[in-house]
Structure 1
Amino acid sequence: MNRDAKIFVAGHGGFVGSAIVRALRQRGCSRLILKPKSELDLRDALQVQYLFRKEQPEYVFLTAAHVGGSEANRERPADLIRDNLMIQHNVIDASYQTSVKKLLFLGSACLYPKHATQPMKEHALLTGALEEANEPYSIAKIAGIKMCQAYNKQYQTRYITAMPTKLYGLHHPNDGLHASNTLAALFQRFHEATQRKLPHVEILGSRESKSEFLHVDDLADACLFLMDRYEDSEIINVGTGIEVTLRELAEKIKAITGYLGEIVYTAHAEAEADRIVDIAKINGLGWQADIKLDEGLRSVYAWVLRNESLLTKH
């Protein structure tokens, strides 16, 4: 993927898409195809086909998706399944119809079975029941993965899928903190407690539950790396390989925010299961995350202090 290649970033205004655009521009790529939602509805097959035939992109990063948390999956399951299936179908098929050289599809670690063995290896996909809270979204995204694999098998295309772990970072320009629910909630609670000088912060969950957090700029770097060097139809995990307990994460954010009070943990039966991905495959190709969690958290909070009103945008 050279600097002169025409590259379409589907979802360039989103959290991951905007990070990929930054990474491409840092590399010197200038022929980027970026269309806002007001000009291109990826759910509309005719609009997508027209774009591909007119622009003739050589490479495609498919990061666009209709996302939502547990509430969206519960209240708007039809929207999540329909919109994601339409977006994926339109972009993947248009890529085939116009002979795109290579496409990267963005999956997620949340697509793995609810009770997958930790750390989760790529072959664990579809080996068990999904997390009920994310099922509509997960089913649609898994269909996208299978569509890429089917096109590779039947049409000899080069469509790959990256499976990132939980993400955090800043969404430029000026759109606020984006992070997993756990991390965003901790920043919110400790920042508020620091400002109001509260005697304690209550955290819902088991202090020893484990998670993994990847900075979005590291994911963008990994996506460019995979576009250059990965050719397998099988999915590939992207993460740090570093586990952090809820207690360790809370202590880090407590120190960063300067909070002086106590931390109180309130465990409950529905606590989120540990979600750690096995990254042996991508490490074996020569890639590893560069941004340490402490460094990333400090940069996020420094931004928060400069843009306090946007803290809750995530």
Structure 2
Amino acid sequence: MSEVADAPVDRSATTYVAGHRGLVGSAIWRRLEREGFSDLRGRTSQELDLRDRDRVFEYFRATRPRYVVLAAARVGGILANASRPVEFLSDNLRIQTNVMDAALEAGVERLLFLGSSCIYPRLAPQPIREDALLTGPLEPTNEAYALAKIAGIGQVQATRRQYGLRWISAMPTNIYGPGDNFSPTGSHVLPALIRRYWEARESGASEVVNWGTGSPRREFLHADDLADACLHLLDSYDDDAHINVGTGVDATIKEIAALVSDVVGFEGTTRWDETRPDGTPRKVMDVSRLTALGWTPSIPLREGLESTVRWFEDNPSRALARG
């Protein structure tokens, strides 16, 4: 089947965003609202535990969505992934399988499954092309999460082949933005750095200590850019293969930390604890297939960081709630 979809999705159709309160899901919800989607549906994890198969099926039978964006997942940084692999594997497998199985029963026409760039081998050639999947060992610190996401890609492909439904998968790079998880133990690197430097500034500390050597290279995409890309894919992409979503530009963690320190306004020094793990040496996406579809990001990293830090400072009770 061609990569290009036949027509844009119907803005009046019932559209369910799984994980609509999370960093990615909330950004997608806002983007769809701005676009004029008039029948958006969402449930919090308290209202609908996506690990509960019976309740998920009940919800889909009652709602009968035409489109689904599957942005719900258990997520976390190196420490959370490495220390709780069972939860990262089991929870994500159940969330994905339940939503997709229920969507299949309900005849959902378009489903967008969101995975992660961690699906690729630890030492994949850079920038990472989509065909690098399953060509080498995964990064051990997030292997469980990666395996779950790889299974999700497989289920989307199997559904397309067996039932002919126009479901697709997208693999975003590292996402950040307002509403992120800033927990010092459960967050990803960028929000963790924001909180660390902010707390150091507030306490008057003279030094911040970061994990690793600072040499790994990472790519970051603002959640609002990802949301815009997701809408573009729903409108224009229809292919069996998953597609990368990112900027195609990376920087060292040391460079990122220096930028965060500057944006936050921390005036002390930074020390690197080289006894701590670095994770994957480099991870930057090849986004040529997405670019060929006519989409590119629009939010520069510094601008995105400034908006994220503003949100953090304006919402301290929410930002620090998962400490």
Q: How does 1:1-314 map to 2 (within 5 A)?
A: 1-171=9-179, 177=182, 181-268=188-275, 270-272=277-279, 273-313=281-321
Deviation for aligned residue 1:51: 2.0
Deviation for aligned residue 1:310: 4.4
Deviation for aligned residue 1:298: 0.9
- Name the CA distance, whole Å, in 2 between partners of 1:180 and 1:210: 18
**TM-score, normalized by length of structure 1?**
0.91
Deviations 1:164-189 (A, max 9, x none): 01111112xxx765896321232223
Residue 284 of structure 2 aligns to a residue whose secondary structure is coil
Deviation for aligned residue 1:269: 7.2
Residue 210 of structure 2 aligns to a residue whose secondary structure is strand
Residue 50 of structure 1 aligns to a residue whose secondary structure is helix
Residue 26 of structure 2 aligns to a residue whose secondary structure is helix
Supply the AA of the counterpart residue of 1:66: R
Contact 1:176 1:313 in 2 (8 A): no
Contact 2:197 2:261 in 1 (8 A): yes
- Name the CA distance, whole Å, in 1 between partners of 2:48 and 2:317: 30
Distance 1:234 1:180, change over 3 A: farther
Aligned length, in residue pairs? 311
Deviations 1:226-285 (A, max 9, x none): 011000110111111121122321221222122233333343573222111111110111
- Name the CA distance, whole Å, in 2 between partners of 1:203 and 1:25: 38
Deviates more, 1:236-245 or 1:300-309: 300-309
Deviation for aligned residue 1:309: 4.5
The residue that corresponds to 2:6 in the other structure is none
Deviation for aligned residue 1:41: 2.6
For the aligned residue pairs, the C-alpha RMSD in angstroms reads 2.2
Distance 1:274 1:29, change over 3 A: same
Contact 1:80 1:136 in 2 (8 A): yes
Distance 1:78 1:236, change over 3 A: same
Contact 2:181 2:187 in 1 (8 A): no
Distance 1:74 1:267, change over 3 A: closer
Distance 1:268 1:74, change over 3 A: closer
Contact 2:85 2:145 in 1 (8 A): yes
- Name the CA distance, whole Å, in 2 between partners of 1:37 and 1:307: 21
Contact 1:42 1:48 in 2 (8 A): yes
Deviation for aligned residue 1:125: 0.8
- Name the CA distance, whole Å, in 1 between partners of 2:46 and 2:187: 27
Deviation for aligned residue 1:18: 1.2
Distance 1:65 1:185, change over 3 A: closer
Deviation for aligned residue 1:112: 0.9
**TM-score, normalized by length of structure 2?**
0.88
Ranked by relative contact order (alpha carbons within 8 Å, sequence separation 6 or more), the top structure is 2
Distance 1:270 1:68, change over 3 A: closer
Deviations 1:141-167 (A, max 9, x none): 211110110111121111111100111
Residue 177 of structure 2 aligns to a residue whose secondary structure is strand
Residue 64 of structure 1 aligns to a residue whose secondary structure is coil
Distance 1:297 1:73, change over 3 A: closer
Distance 1:79 1:260, change over 3 A: closer
Deviation for aligned residue 1:211: 0.8
Deviation for aligned residue 1:70: 4.2
Deviates more, 1:242-251 or 1:151-160: 242-251
